[in-house]
Amino acid sequence: MICLSKIKVAIVGGGHRGSSVYRVLREVDNVQIIGLADINPASPGMILARRDKIFTTDDFTELVVNPKIHVIVEATGISEVQRKIYEIKSSDAAVMEAMAGNFFMTILQAKEELLEVKKLKGELGAILNSVQEAIEVADNTGLIKYINPAFTRVTGIPEAVRVGKNIFEASPHGALAQALIKQKPVVGYRSKVGGSGVEVISNAAPILVEGQVEGAVVVFQPITDILKLMDELQKSTTIIENLYAKIDQITGSKFTFDDLTGNCKVFLGTVEMAKKAAKSESPVLLVGESGTGKELFAHAIHQASNRRGKPFIKVSCASVPEELLESELFGHEKGSFTGAVRTKLGKVELAKGGTLFLDEIGEMNPYLQGKFLRLLQDRQFERVGGSETIKADVRIITATNVELKSLVRKGRFREELYFLLNVIELNMPPLRHRREDIPVLVEHFIGKLNRKLGKKVKNVDPDALQLLASYDWPGNIRELENVIERAMVTVDSDIFGRQHLSPYIGQFNAGATNVYTEIVPLDKMEQMMLKAALNRFGETLEGKKKASQALNISLATLYNKLKKYKASM
């Protein structure tokens, strides 16, 4: 008799039976699995063995000839495999067929099922012990078999006192007893836990095994916890409803400084000042006529600031009715006035951490000016009808197309508010003061409209540029873009010409008495025409010849002028 510390086993076959044998034998202390063989590397047994770093092979003969093996378990059931094993195995190795007889398989299955039950029991115990709700289980006679730690926390009753008692004596009026009596689920049951007096809301259900009631389980929470949850849920619901109601009004900044188009000195000076303003938290006042791009500058300042990524919210003080503007800005409490059916968050609150842009600030009434003054001074406010003081974390940018100083002199705008808003003032130059930017702006708009309208315009006729440059543009850049878009609809070639503007020529002539009220220097106009000609004909030698012909100058003169304006073009 050979005394062995461990029985060395080889398994041939990694299918269902082979994997079952493997799972059972690897749990036996005095068994060492030497290897497993199967022609299918993806069989369950092969996967398990590789995971456990056990030797695997697709050639069973390589495994069974190992002289150290004491037992070979044949789990394929294939007679040819069995015959081959007997031919080549070591004379000392015993062969056990997993298919032979029910006794061996019954042991294997029972062992495997027991391991699975233990695993499930451990997992279930971990889950029940970790949940925050109290749990109690009783069998079909009412004998209490289990309580989780949360049961003791809620009721103060220790496990040793509760388990082993009968539920019909301990808590006869509770949901667990009712579920056993009625043999059906009990939902939302309000009662007191017997032995503690704690009032709870419970859900209980019978435990069914093959259609028979074998017991019941109850899950409950104290009433105080439920009420707290309901209160928190109500608060959260109010916030969520307001956020959803306002979500369409919350927008991030859409434009950066790269989206601002222009090369003239006065415009570039404003851009540089705006970039410096973006690095601070001070209020910014944008002053300029309608259509000069005040909102674009506000977007760009926000995007270049430390608040980028946070909300950028715009409010037009002229677009919101005066009686609603306070609520729009500061929000209101439920019931603060007729129609206030719920608490509403204002734009100041929704812009938390970001930027609030107030357009046409001069239209704000004196009462709101006072409330807004406090927001800037104290960084706090109250909702309409509310008494709670709310901290405000928001950067303020305002814009106006009127002279606020004149409103201050007339008593229509508070002087102290004006000074607080005017920490950084940016003046938007009107288009008539930056006529040299018209070719650049026209090129920009045509590029954008090509994509929008499906056009393929590549060049602009110098005559068209001259006509555009001779107009005063009371609507500024917004008006220019509108005119270009209307004209682009009629363009069916790759050249945007004067004829495309002819439907609107009357509008230009209507202001003819004002043409050149702001004189454009001849050298600036000359640069505009040179650039337009080169854009149209190209900068090759042939293109420059055509450009000189169109401009009615010699090629040499063209080169001299290009050299003269090289730095500014």
Question: Residue 443: CB partners within 8 Å, gap ≥ 6?
Answer: 460, 535
pLDDT grade, residue 178 (50/70/90)?
very high
At residue 103, the pLDDT reads 41
Q: Where are the domains of the chain?
A: 7-110, 131-224, 257-429, 434-564
Burial class (CB in 10 A: 0-12, 13-18, 19+), 549: middle
What does DSSP assign to residue 183?
Answer: T
12: helix, strand or coil: strand
Q: Which residue has the higher pLDDT, 46 or 119?
A: 46
Q: In terms of Cα–Cα distance, which of 483, 487, 507 is closest to 497? A: 487
Mean pLDDT of 116-122: 67
Q: What is the pLDDT of residue 483?
A: 87
- Say which CATH class 7-110 falls into: alpha beta
CB atoms within 10 A of CB 435: 23
In this predicted structure, the answer to whether residue 363 has a pLDDT above a threshold of 80 is yes
The string of pLDDT tens digits covering residues 32-85 is 999 999 999 999 999 999 999 999 999 999 999 998 898 899 998 888 999 999
Q: How far is 45 from 112, CA to CA, in rounded Å? A: 14
The tokens 């734009």 sit on which residue? 347
Tell me whether domains 7-110 and 434-564 share a fold.
no
Mean of pLDDT over the chain: 84
pLDDT at 523: 75
* pLDDT attached to residue 413: 93
Specify the pTM: 0.51
Domain 434-564: state its class. mainly alpha
Lowest mean pLDDT among 80-89, 192-201, 223-232, 407-416: 223-232
Fold that domain 131-224 belongs to in CATH:
Beta-Lactamase (3.30.450)
Mean pLDDT of 536-545: 82
Of all residues in the chain, what percent carry a pLDDT higher than 70? 87
9's tokens: 């086993």
The reported pLDDT for the residue numbered 115 is 62
Write phi, then psi, for 348 (nearest 5 degrees): -60, -45
As given in the structure block, the two tokens for residue 255 are 């434009």
Grade residue 512 by pLDDT with cuts at 50, 70 and 90: very low
Kindly report which listed range (67-71, 163-167, 464-468, 528-532) carries the lowest average pLDDT score: 528-532
CATH code, 257-429: 3.40.50.300
Q: Decide if pLDDT at 106 tops 60.
A: no
Mean pLDDT value of segment 545-568: 80
The model's pLDDT over 141-160, given as tens digits with 9 standing for 90+, comes to 999 999 999 899 888 899 99
DSSP string, 22-53: HHHHTT-TTEEEEEEE-S-TTSHHHHHHHHTT
Q: What is the pLDDT of residue 298?
A: 95
Which one has a higher pLDDT value, 312 or 130? 312
Which residue carries 């926000």 as its tokens? 302
Beta-strand ranges (E) seen in 334-474 are: 355-359, 380-381, 390-391, 395-400, 424-427, 459-460
Asked if 173 contacts 186 with a C-beta cutoff of 8 angstroms, the reply is: no
Q: In what order do the strands lie in the sheet with 94-97?
A: 55-57, 31-37, 7-12, 71-74, 94-97
Share above pLDDT 90 across residues of the chain, in percent, rounded to a whole number = 37
- From CA 36, how far away is CA 46, in angstroms rounded? 7
Task: Give the model's pLDDT for residue 517.
Answer: 42
